[in-house]
Structure 1
Amino acid sequence: MTQTWVVDAKMGTLNDEMIHIGYNRPELFRVLMNDRAPKPQAAVVPFTQDLDFSPLNGAVNPADGQLYVTGFQIWGTTAKRISGLARIHYTGGRRVLLTGLVPMDKGVLLRFNEALDPKSATDPASYSVERWNYKRTFDYGSPHLKLDGSPGQEWMVPSSAYLSKDGKSVFVGIPDMKPVMQMRTGWGIKDSEGLEAHNNAYYTPYELTKFEPEKEGFEPLTVDLTPRKAVVVEAAKPTVEEGFKLYQMIGCMACHSTDGSVVGKVGPSWKGLFGSDRMLKDGNKTLADEAYLRESILNPSAKVVKALRNSTPGCPFMRGS
């Protein structure tokens, strides 16, 4: 994995930003710097997952001001092509992008490049938040660990959400904010013209900045940190649209496709999954019914399909969420 700065470019909102280049799972991330605390911090936001080769490096072409990435296979990767060269071309089209993220004592401040729809932006249910720690050892990698050391991550239910006076920033009130190794905040909102925005930001809140509403561009307010339970509306019939929103907001799209493609994915595609026969790595066969899907969501290691027998399930445990 490498980084490149988008300087002297013609890339719109990406100008002067750092781009993190992911190799194993071909993906580009925007790196949003945060210098609000004494210790420098940053958030990474997935930008594109459309590469079919493993990128190793990137640079801005001075001839057209666009970002080019290239790479080839040198170790483990989910990409199918051996090598490739791609141009990330700025089209000038509208896209709702996160431009800043600051973890604070009462929640998380999100700044966007477009004015937002007040209804979706101020609905706490439009955001998903979780946190976890890692265990530093000489071994490669670490499981997700809750703050008490038990396996998994802690789901944090937002208690409130407030829109700034210019409509481009949201403060998400979150009870029990603490410094931690890793946090993820996902959002499923719209801009003022109805353009949908679904994405996730990953960040390490080493230090928490004090939230002062008026200094951040908000009306005078007291952040409501009353614990709010995640509400399940039993009367509402689940829809494909709502499922797709969760698929994007919680981050499932990073590992699973919905169109049958497997390039750049470390998990099986969801297309045609329900009701199909699944061949497991232990030689047994099972039906992908509701019980199987629920078990796989709660414990991804319970039944691993034969095609992924040499992979380590990277999906976080959802038990207790």
Structure 2
Amino acid sequence: MRRRALPALLLASPASLLARPAPAQERPLRLVIAWPPGGSTDALGRMLAPPLAARLGREVVPENRSGAAGAIGAALVAQAPADGTALLLDSGGHATNPWLMRGLPFDYLAAFAPVALLATLPLLLVVRAGHPAADAAALAALRPEAYASVGVGSRTHLAAAAWARRGGFSATHVPFRGGAEQVTALLRGDVPFAFASVALAAPHLEAGRLRALGASAAGTPWPALGLDIKDWLGLHAPAATPPALVARQAEAALAALAEVAPRLPPLGMAADGRGPAGFAAFLAADRAAMGALLRAEGIEAG
């Protein structure tokens, strides 16, 4: 398949993406959320901003910059001044994009300093409420022709592709810009199934518009599907940020996480709480694992 065409914004110069900065100590911290409103990344970012601001002693402004499977927001922070005025909140796509994208104006492996791994979350296999399949096995037996995801190489894509292959059928992948668009397409009947975050699916499950047939990992109220594929959410600073500043940001972020942790389980998130060194080790292992999974599933950017 052809590599995807990258949005023009990714190829813009740093000067076109960032306004001339005021002194760092006078500016708010931009919390760049690499995904659109309505999903787990956005929910955690907006939940975390107030306690993070209190601990850093400065305003923290959440800012959604979505597109290209998180690469738009990542580009913004990769090119930001390394002065503590910008952090990236990204999901597991951070570990798959390096395998899928070429021609980016930054290198995922070199452009960021890991700050904190905040949360992990399983995904739910969901269908519309009126779908005839009573469980995951019945859905697989129907050999559905398509599924939705939040982007090529995303965990929602990997979970669906792996589950379909294990079910002995192939289906067309239909990617969307974010979870809200993905679920909207599912509700309209454009696609028969999807893997979605608990945070995104929960309101529709409660309203009876969707049904969950299983989960991509154990430890949820839904039947485990044997995939062991989880998404994750973490904070990243520009690579040249001084280590002492990264350590201070990590300390504040983990304290803020501890404050909001009781609110995470209903959203399908489990607080993690690894700091810079632990997050760096996790990232290295996850990138390797995701590269192997992408090759096994034959997934490449389209």
Structure having the higher strand fraction is 1
TM range (shorter): under 0.3
Rg larger for? 1
Structure having the higher helix fraction is 2
TM-score (norm 2): 0.22
